[in-house]
Amino acid sequence: MHSGLAAVVEGLPYVLQGIGVTLTVVGGALAMGLAFGLFLSVVQVYGRTWLRRLAAVYVWFFRGIPLLVLLFLFYFGVLAALEVELSPFMVSIIVLGLISSAYQAQILRGAILSVPDGQMKAARAIGMSDLRAITFIILPQALRLAIPGWSNEYTVIMKDSAVTYALGVAELMARTNHVASRTYQHLWLYLMVGFIYLLLTWVGTQALRILEERVAISGYTR
């Protein structure tokens, strides 16, 4: 058997153990990004001027700095200065979540703005407060409309998660790099992990597409 294929067969079980770590990082970052992104999007649409400006600065900051720089900044800089001890795994989720929240805020903001203004006016006319109207009328529709953009955010976070190996997180890329440095079969092993990432991305986007179809709002075009 070719030495490259032998390295793949030998290293595959070890590499596959990193799928759980990768999916946990991606899932945690997306959940955190959704929670913060919802708040930021509502602030950007309905908040006071000074709150909208603060949200804009937040989005500008986390969209403008590379992921690797932010990972090092938080892990070796901020946390070290504050004498706070967090594992590289947790730092990766937090940093990816903060970055994702900046992008999801824009996705959700566009979805909120696509909901007709008349629905907020109708809610006010029947005596609902703005907070209740946003929570029970606007956001349920906006979240459904945001699924296509959210699907794209999943693919971005999935690919960005590979960078967390720089902090020592034992995810797919870190495990593949470990096997490659031991066997020197970089071509075959990186092709293998690339295929795994493609498969995970495809499965995730297909699941979100099915979700989009099931919760589609009658009367809205895709």
pLDDT for res 221: 55
How far out from the chain centre does Cα 24 lie? 11
H or E segment and range at residue 46: helix 18-46
Q: Whole-number mean pLDDT of the chain?
A: 90
Per-residue pLDDT at 1 exceeds 50: no
d(CA 208, CA 148): 8
Question: For residue range 24-34, what is the model confidence (pLDDT) as tens digits?
Answer: 999 999 999 99
How far out from the chain centre does Cα 143 lie? 15
Question: Which tokens in the block code for residue 196?
Answer: 């795994």
**How would you write 163-182 as a 3-class SS string?**
HHHHHCCCCHHHHHHHHHHH
Question: Which tokens in the block code for residue 12?
Answer: 């595959």
**Where is pLDDT greater, at 2 or 55?**
55
**Count of residues making up the chain:** 222
Which residues are CB-contacts of 214 (< 8 A; sequence separation ≥ 6)? none
Minimal CA–CA distance to 162: which of 179, 177, 150, 182? 177
Percent of the chain with pLDDT over 70: 96
Region 65-93: mean pLDDT is 92
Per-residue pLDDT at 90 exceeds 80: yes
pLDDT for res 23: 95
How far out from the chain centre does Cα 54 lie? 21
Question: For residue range 19-57, what is the model confidence (pLDDT) as tens digits?
Answer: 999 999 999 999 999 999 999 999 999 989 999 999 999
pLDDT for res 158: 95
Question: For residue range 133-186, what is the model confidence (pLDDT) as tens digits?
Answer: 888 889 988 888 888 888 899 999 999 999 999 998 989 999 999 898 888 888
